[in-house]
Amino acid sequence: MIKTFNYLFVTCFGIGSIRFAPGTITSLMTTIFLYSLFHIINLPNITILIILLIVFIYSFYAVSEYIKYNENKDPKEVVVDEFIGQSIPIYLYEIAHGSSKDSNEAALFYLYIFILFRYFDIKKPFPVSFFDKKFKNSFGVIIDDVVAGLYVVLTLIIFMVIKSKFF
């Protein structure tokens, strides 16, 4: 039973088993899921943070168990790391905007975040590539996407600073 649960967890309920672009589809589904939590259901930020932290912490165990007997230590069907990496910039965007949330502006920023995350996750600039290549375990599988998510945050901060100074 725990093996089945871990499989469903690391593949985000089977999304990772999709043949074409499972990481991109997971990132898109994560974006839609978080938009729903923040803007349709209106869950409190702390509740969403607790959900994300539980997923983050449990993912180390689940991925470790899933890849334990697998020759490939970063199989494409493991996409919970995309969920985590995509969630970081979205959550930080939401808490930065506090209670003044415009759903249309949020949808546009979610699109920017989605595109930027996929770019950094696919291109793997340093140190994303370092974690991807150096750590062939659950840490490496997850942390490279965390760093890609942090690159998105940094990119958006730079964009907003430039925008406020020059436009």
Q: How many Cα atoms sit within 13 Å of 23 on the Cβ side? A: 19
Mean pLDDT across the chain: 92
pLDDT tens for 57-103 read 999 999 999 998 787 777 889 999 999 999 999 999 999 987 666 77
Rounded to an integer, what distance in angstroms lies between the CA atom of residue 82 and that of residue 167? 33
Looking at the whole model, is its pTM more than 0.85? yes
pLDDT tens for 26-65 read 999 999 999 999 999 999 999 999 999 999 999 999 999 9
Question: What integer pLDDT is reported at residue 100 of this predicted model?
Answer: 67
User: Got the DSSP string for 87-154?
Assistant: HHHHHHHHHHTTT---HHHHHHHHHHHHHHHHHHHHH--TTHHHHHHH--SHHHHHHHHHHHHHHHHH
